[in-house]
Every structure is written in C-alpha cells, then in structure tokens.
Amino acid sequence: MAMMDEQSKERDQLFIDLDEGRIPKRVPVHTWMDVTYVMQYAGVDVRRAQWDLETIKEMIELAAKTFQSDIEPTTVTRLMPVYNILGAVNFVMGSSGQIQHPNVVGMYPEEYDELIADPYKFTHDKVLPRLYKNLDTTPAKRALVFSKAMKAYNDYYSQIYPHIAMVSKKYGLASGRVACQTIAPFDHLADQYRSFSGISADIRRYPEKVIEACEAILPMMVKAGIRPWSSPQARTFIPLHMAPYLRTKDFEKFYWPTFKKLVEQLAAAGAPALLFVEHDWTRFLDYLNELPAGTQMMFEYGDPKLIKEKVGKKHIISGLYPLTLLGKGTKQECIDKAKELIDILAPGGNYIFSFDKVAIFLQDANPENMIAVNEFVKEYAKY
C-alpha cells in the first residue's frame, strides 16, 4: 500500500506541476470513459447493470486497474434509478442500454420574462415538471417524488465518489481532476430549456430576451461551479455545445459575454475550469486565449499545431486524439498517431494526453489499442 501511495503522489505531482506552470516529469494521461463502456468491456448486460450499484462499483475498479490512465477514467453521470423515480423524458434508456438525450423543450418562448425574474424558481416551477413527468402533479406528490429521487441520488453518489477515491489509492492513481460541473449560460438555455431548434429561432425573434436570460442565469451557473474543495487540481468541468453552430457575430453577441464572465468568476473563486471544447472551435481560438491563464481545454477537433500556437502557451491543452482511430486502426497506427500529437503538443508543457471524446461504445475504441497507446505515452512522453 505504501508503494501505491507513493505512485499516487508521483501522479498527483504531474498535474500539480502543470497547474503551477512547471514542466512535469512526463505528459500525464487522463482517459475518460462512460461506465457503460466498461460494462461492455466486462461483458455484462448494460441494461441490467445500470440498475445495480455494486456492478457500477466493480466497473470503476476494473477501469482503474485496466486502462493505464493516470486518473481513474470512469464517469458515472446518469443514474437510471433516479430517472425512473422522476419519469424522465430528457434522459431515457435506449435499446442498447445507453442513456439517450432526446431534443426536449423545458421552456416556451413566451416565458422568458418569468425565467429572467428568478431562474431557480422557474426551473422548479416550469422546467422540471416538463422534463420529469412524475413531477407534473400536485404540490404534495411533487414534493414526495422529488424527495425520493434526491434520496436515491445521494445513496448512489455517497458510495460512488468514495469508491473512486478508494480505488484510486489502491491502484496508485492521481486524485480526480473534476470537482463539479456547470454550463455556459447560453448552452444552458439551449440544452434543456429551449432546445437546439428553439434557441436558433429565439436569437432572431427575441435577441434582447436571450441576452437578458443569459445574464440572469449566470449567477446560478457560477454557484453550481464552485465547491468548498474546488482547486486547480479539482476543477469545474464545463462541456461547451452551441458555439460552433453559431455565426461569429451571434457568438460574440449571445454566447461569449456570459461564458467569459462565468470562467473568470470561477477562476477568481479558486475554481478553475476544465472546458470540454466540443466540435471545432477554430474560429474562436483567439477568444479562448482571453480566458484566465491555466484554463484546461480538452479539444475535440481542430488543427493541433494551430491550437498549440494560439492557446497552448497560456492554457493547458488536452484531447485532439481521435478516439475512433482506436476502433479501426492497428496498434501501430494508433501509437504512431499518439507520437505525432505528442511531438506537436508536448513541447513546453501545458499538455495532458487525452482522447477527443469520452469512450462510450466498445466498437469505437478497441480497449487493447487504448491500453497500448496509454502505455506508449507514459514511456515516450518524458521531459
């Protein structure tokens, strides 16, 4: 156990060095995978296993000891028992057992003023009963359903988080990189309130209301993104969605102002961000470079050389390795791709090796290739 403690410390130090602006001993490896990916790897029934806390815990341990990540790689973000109690329509289990997110509308366009007046109250009064049909009932029944669901949520996570910490120590891994999550105000408005198509119409029909709504939502998103244990090593995860689908002038007008304030206010509160920069943000790299120094950006797509040049001096870069290559490439092709990216992104530090997506489907990412690549990176990418 003492040897594992030492390994954990060494791995923690890789991330601490990065966060404090030093070049670490080697490039750290942080792989992300949904718990259902591990279930497929283990050959268990994904539809059944998501109802079973003990199986989820077994999957967390299996991933910790198998995939050669420096951080425990499993993400457990969707809890079937909770969604079942609530009658969720926004997260439903598909035939493969994966939780899917249909395009739903939690808010109608005529309700902007109500949202702007009190976003948290509006969320409880209007949005939640539309996303969770068992909350669309009498006040007394709604309180009972909410209480049951929150109890289930607490029962699950009060075991999952300590279990992740325990297996991380057991296998000599670094501490987790994420303290909590929040969302950019415009993304929040789009994702579960107005939907992709709804917000696309709103920015033409009610532009001032959209701007006011983003400003009104901001304090709630800031609050969601700060925990007592937030730190440069335990960051606020922010998955970014809508910007690549916006015209640049709409990005400047609707998306950027409150997103920038969010990241700045989090950093000022000691909760630096870990952005998952979904899709291709090439048009917006100069904007990203304006964010507080040391923001971590996990990119999905883009030119690694351009990203390194534009944001890699000031910020920590990760991602960009095409996960799907692990599904179709040979082991050597996968390793060659890792070498190519490391040669571009690792010089000067500020780099964590990650794939460009969270692994969800086994056919997208051959586990043998994933393990071979992570082992190669740890050996090759020494400073």
* CA proximity to 375, closest of 92, 70, 17, 43: 70
Binding test (CB under 8 A) with other proteins, winner from 163, 188, 308, 357: 188
Nearest to other proteins of 222, 341 (CB atom):
222
At its nearest, how many Å lie between other proteins and the CB of residue 214? Answer: 13
Nearest to other proteins of 18, 217 (CB atom):
217
Nearest to other proteins of 86, 210 (CB atom):
86
131 binds other proteins (CB under 8 A): yes
Lay out the site mask for other proteins across 253-282 (x = CB under 8 A, - = otherwise).
Answer: ------------x--xx-------------
* CA proximity to 183, closest of 67, 266, 287: 266
Residue 216 vs residues 93, 112, 267: alpha-carbon distances, Å: 33, 10, 20
Question: Site for other proteins (CB under 8 A): how many residues?
Answer: 31
Query: What b/e string do you get for 167-204 counting C-beta neighbours within 10 Å, with b at 16 or more?
Result: bbbebbbbbbbebeebbbbbbbbbbbbbbeebbeebbe
Binding test (CB under 8 A) with other proteins, winner from 48, 223, 305, 382: 223
Residue 3 vs residues 7, 17, 173, 185: alpha-carbon distances, Å: 6, 21, 11, 44
Task: Find residue 277's DSSP bridge partners.
Answer: 240, 299
Q: In one letter, which amino acid is 229?
A: W
Number of CB atoms found within 10 A of residue 295's CB: 23
Interacting positions 350-369 with other proteins (CB under 8 A): none
Interacting positions 1-60 with other proteins (CB under 8 A): none
Q: How far apart are CA 291 and CA 311, in angstroms?
A: 10
At its nearest, how many Å lie between other proteins and the CB of residue 84? Answer: 14
Q: How far apart are CA 78 and CA 99, in angstroms?
A: 7
Q: Kindly indicate which of the ranges 13-21, 215-223, 334-342, 374-382 contains the residues binding other proteins, using the contact rule CB under 8 A.
A: 215-223
At its nearest, how many Å lie between other proteins and the CB of residue 243? Answer: 18
Nearest to other proteins of 8, 230 (CB atom):
230
* CA proximity to 21, closest of 235, 343, 342, 316: 316
At its nearest, how many Å lie between other proteins and the CB of residue 146? Answer: 8
Task: Find residue 174's DSSP bridge partners.
Answer: 71
Nearest to other proteins of 151, 313 (CB atom):
151
At its nearest, how many Å lie between other proteins and the CB of residue 225? Answer: 9
DSSP run (H or E) holding 236: strand 235-240
Lay out the site mask for other proteins across 146-175 (x = CB under 8 A, - = otherwise).
Answer: ---xx--xx---------------------
Residue 350 half-sphere exposure toward CB, CA atoms < 13 A: 21
Binding test (CB under 8 A) with other proteins, winner from 9, 121, 247, 305: 121
At its nearest, how many Å lie between other proteins and the CB of residue 52? Answer: 20
Q: Kindly indicate which of the ranges 3-11, 25-33, 145-153, 349-357 contains the residues binding other proteins, using the contact rule CB under 8 A.
A: 145-153
Q: How far apart are CA 90 and CA 123, in angstroms?
A: 14
Binding residues for other proteins, per CB under 8 A?
86, 106, 118-121, 123-124, 127-128, 131-132, 149-150, 153-154, 180-183, 188, 192, 218-220, 222-224, 265, 268-269
